[in-house]
């Protein structure tokens, strides 16, 4: 008989040092939020495949969730001047974000109030000193109020109250412009939960888009984002020893997080994985220093008494500090190195790290239940006093294209190919399976379950406000 | 409807239209060449030149905005790629004419071709 005490579901963890153990033993202390831990057991029932494949479920999401939830549409620097616009499409909905005055950014449904025509055809950034419908020439000022109606005499029944552009809730946080089609949405700050407090330590408004890649993925938007919500897949998908001891946090209905140490390897965390890989023999500190090679940097060996993690962090502090003109000397190893990923319901990811500085967004590809659009932004820290440069246009990749085709994506190209390479197979597997749903780990995959639970609240309660 | 190409009456020639300093990167300049407005666009990839009138409803593109390599029409938001003139979004579907640009010590010059009715195009 085992002498182990019986554990409650969700209490078990990988063996070896925890993320907190590592962060505490690092030379530079991390910001306090990174030492917090907030896990809760949310159940262990299977998640039905229908939720990923059913047209009816997809339509319910479109009716009850997407029009009632906050989503970031663009960055403030996409609309720096009065008249700058950004069109954000989500399923059948289209939203115009516009800088209507120096300090004002507003959002409207992209639809003429005369006969409904979409006003701005393109998606992404644009410019309009006013909005003019291409059908009959009705026009509106940037604040959405009616400007001109040709043959005004024929429309005595039209006025501002009824025919100004249809407003959408619009607020800003961290340099992002958020929209919510629900005009009675609760304030964005209430929705963001711990994010404003945590990101005081790593402000996203002082980041610039270095690279924006927009790829079509062959999977439902939820399956696509769930490929990025755990590091459990690292061993098999990325052939990587890191990830077994990743920390997972649930901060509320809308926000979750993982902290996945980079250059922190423990053979114990892979204790019950098949085979001897990375356990017998375990990787040496010198082996782990090879991470620097992946970043295109030179490396030697780890001196006695040092760790690879400390040396890699130091090397990156110097290299990135010089490249970006920023002093990283007092930045913690964790922020320099680790994959720290916050998720915001329903589809947004924010990484505060310096070397892993991504933002993701996953959304349905039009009305296709089986494909999605993945926006990948690499958000480089901006030196003090430097103005935001004009953001680059997205590099667009179709389903069959490889991330390695993207100029400047460097070591991340093959990694994203691996991450997204399972999705077509998973979609096929959903449809051939006799078993009706997918099974989740209690701890490592709890963030995925959190999203489904919150989604259910939207779908079951027409009054849910986000 | 088929457009007849006008007969050229002379050799193609570069004509200086602006100095490089007049157009900061990211900016545009509308120049008049023999009565035809042409928009010079200074992008991160260099200088490009397109006709100043939108091919949809003839709004002046100089009253729109250059974003990256796209010029945006102020009227309905149509976008054209200034590198090849192609119409990127509706309501425009016809490409805007482009002109080869040469930048040297003497400034920014356009390659123009005079046709028998006096209108030039590349």
Contact B77/A125, CB-based, under 8 Å?
no
* pLDDT tens, residue order, chain A (466 aa): 444 578 899 999 999 999 999 999 999 999 999 999 999 999 999 999 999 999 999 999 999 999 999 999 999 999 999 999 999 999 999 999 999 999 999 999 999 999 999 999 999 999 999 999 999 999 999 999 999 999 999 999 999 999 999 999 999 999 999 999 999 999 999 999 999 999 999 999 999 999 999 999 999 999 999 999 999 999 999 988 888 899 999 999 999 999 999 998 789 999 889 888 888 888 889 988 888 888 888 888 999 989 999 999 999 999 999 999 999 999 999 999 999 999 999 999 999 999 999 999 999 999 999 999 999 999 999 999 999 999 999 999 999 999 999 999 998 999 999 999 999 999 999 999 999 999 999 999 999 999 999 999 999 976 666 6
In angstroms, the CA B88 to CA B50 distance is 14
Question: Is B86 part of the contact surface with chain A (CB cutoff 8 Å)?
Answer: no
Question: Is A134 part of the contact surface with chain B (CB cutoff 8 Å)?
Answer: yes
Question: Is A110 part of the contact surface with chain B (CB cutoff 8 Å)?
Answer: no
What residues of chain B, 92 to 121, have a C-beta less than 8 Å from chain A? none
- Smallest CA–CA distance, residue A87 to chain B, in Å, is 11
Mutate to test the interface with A, among B65, B70, B71 (most CBs of A within 10 A): B65
3-state percent breakdown (helix, strand, coil) of chain A, nearest 5: 30, 25, 50
Pairing of strands B46-51, B65-67: unpaired
- CATH class of the domain at A19-54+202-460: alpha beta
Contact A315, A292 (CB under 8 A): yes
| DSSP character at residue A332 | -
In angstroms, the CA B78 to CA B98 distance is 16
> What contacts A153, CB < 8 A, 6 or more positions away?
none
pLDDT for residue B11: 67
Q: Tell me if residue B112 falls in helix, strand or coil.
A: strand
What are the residue ranges spanned by the domains of chain A?
A: 19-54+202-460, 71-184
Report pLDDT digits (tens) over B7-60: 555 667 888 989 989 999 999 999 999 889 999 999 999 999 999 999 999 999
Contact B87, B94 (CB under 8 A): yes
Q: CB-CB: which of B64, B75, B77 is closest to A121?
A: B77
- Smallest CA–CA distance, residue B80 to chain A, in Å, is 11
**Homologous superfamily in CATH for domain B13-111:** Rieske [2Fe-2S] iron-sulphur domain (2.102.10.10)
- What average pLDDT is seen over chain B? 87
pTM assigned to the model? 0.92
User: A71-184: which CATH number, 3.90.320.10, 2.102.10.10, 3.90.550.10, 2.30.42.10?
Assistant: 2.102.10.10
Contact B77/A127, CB-based, under 8 Å?
yes
Question: Is A124 part of the contact surface with chain B (CB cutoff 8 Å)?
Answer: no
């Amino acid at each position: 008989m085992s002498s182990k005490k019986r554990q409650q579901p969700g209490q078990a963890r990988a063996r070896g040092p925890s993320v907190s153990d590592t962060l505490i033993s690092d030379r530079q202390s991390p910001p306090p939020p990174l030492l917090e831990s907030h896990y809760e057991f949310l159940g262990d029932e299977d998640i039905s495949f229908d939720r990923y494949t059913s047209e009816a479920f997809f339509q319910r999401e479109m009716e009850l969730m997407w029009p009632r939830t906050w989503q970031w549409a663009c960055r403030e620097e996409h609309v720096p001047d009065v008249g700058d616009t950004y069109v954000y499409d989500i399923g059948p909905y289209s939203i115009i974000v516009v800088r209507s005055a120096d300090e004002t950014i507003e959002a409207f449904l992209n639809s003429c109030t005369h006969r409904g025509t979409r006003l701005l055809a393109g998606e992404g950034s644009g410019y309009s000193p006013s909005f003019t419908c291409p059908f009959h020439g009705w026009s509106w000022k940037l604040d959405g109020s009616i400007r001109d109606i040709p043959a005004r005499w024929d429309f005595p029944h039209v006025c501002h109250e009824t025919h100004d552009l249809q407003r959408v809730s619009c607020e800003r946080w961290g340099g992002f412009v958020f929209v919510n089609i629900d005009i009675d949405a609760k304030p964005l700050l209430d929705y963001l939960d711990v994010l404003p407090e945590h990101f005081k330590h790593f402000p996203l408004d002082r980041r610039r888009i270095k690279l924006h890649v927009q790829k079509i993925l062959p999977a439902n938007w939820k399956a696509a984002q769930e490929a990025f919500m755990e590091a459990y897949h690292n061993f098999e998908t990325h052939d990587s020893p890191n990830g077994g001891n990743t920390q997972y946090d649930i901060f509320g209905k809308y926000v979750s997080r993982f902290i996945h140490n980079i250059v922190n390897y423990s053979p114990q965390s892979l204790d019950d994985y098949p085979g001897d890989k990375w356990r017998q023999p375990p990787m040496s500190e010198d082996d782990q220093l090879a991470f620097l090679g992946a970043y295109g940097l030179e490396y030697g060996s780890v001196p006695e008494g040092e760790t690879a993690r400390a040396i890699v962090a130091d090397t990156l502090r110097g290299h990135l500090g010089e490249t970006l003109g920023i002093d990283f000397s007092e930045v913690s190893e964790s922020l320099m190195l680790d994959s720290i990923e916050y998720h915001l319901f329903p589809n947004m990811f924010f990484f505060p790290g310096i070397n892993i500085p991504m933002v993701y967004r996953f959304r349905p590809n039009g009305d296709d239940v089986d494909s999605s659009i993945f926006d990948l932004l690499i958000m480089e820290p901006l030196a003090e006093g430097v103005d935001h440069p004009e953001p680059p246009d997205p590099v667009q990749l179709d389903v069959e294209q490889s991330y390695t085709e993207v100029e400047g994506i460097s070591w991340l190209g093959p990694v994203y190919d691996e991450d997204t390479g399972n999705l077509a197979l998973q979609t096929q597997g959903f449809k051939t399976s006799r078993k009706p749903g997918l099974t989740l780990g209690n701890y490592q995959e709890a963030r995925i379950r959190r999203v489904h639970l919150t989604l259910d609240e939207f779908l079951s309660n027409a009054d849910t406000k986000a | 409807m088929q457009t007849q190409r006008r007969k050229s009456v002379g050799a193609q020639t570069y004509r200086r239209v602006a100095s490089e300093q007049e157009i900061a990167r990211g900016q545009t300049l509308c120049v008049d060449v023999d009565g035809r407005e042409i928009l010079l666009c200074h992008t991160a990839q260099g200088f490009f030149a397109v006709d100043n009138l939108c091919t949809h409803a003839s709004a002046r593109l100089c009253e729109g905005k250059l974003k990256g390599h796209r010029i945006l029409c102020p009227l309905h938001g149509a976008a054209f790629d200034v590198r090849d003139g192609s119409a990127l979004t509706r309501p425009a579907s016809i490409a805007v004419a482009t002109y080869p640009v040469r930048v040297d010590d003497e400034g920014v010059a356009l390659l123009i071709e005079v046709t028998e009715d006096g209108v030039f195009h590349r």
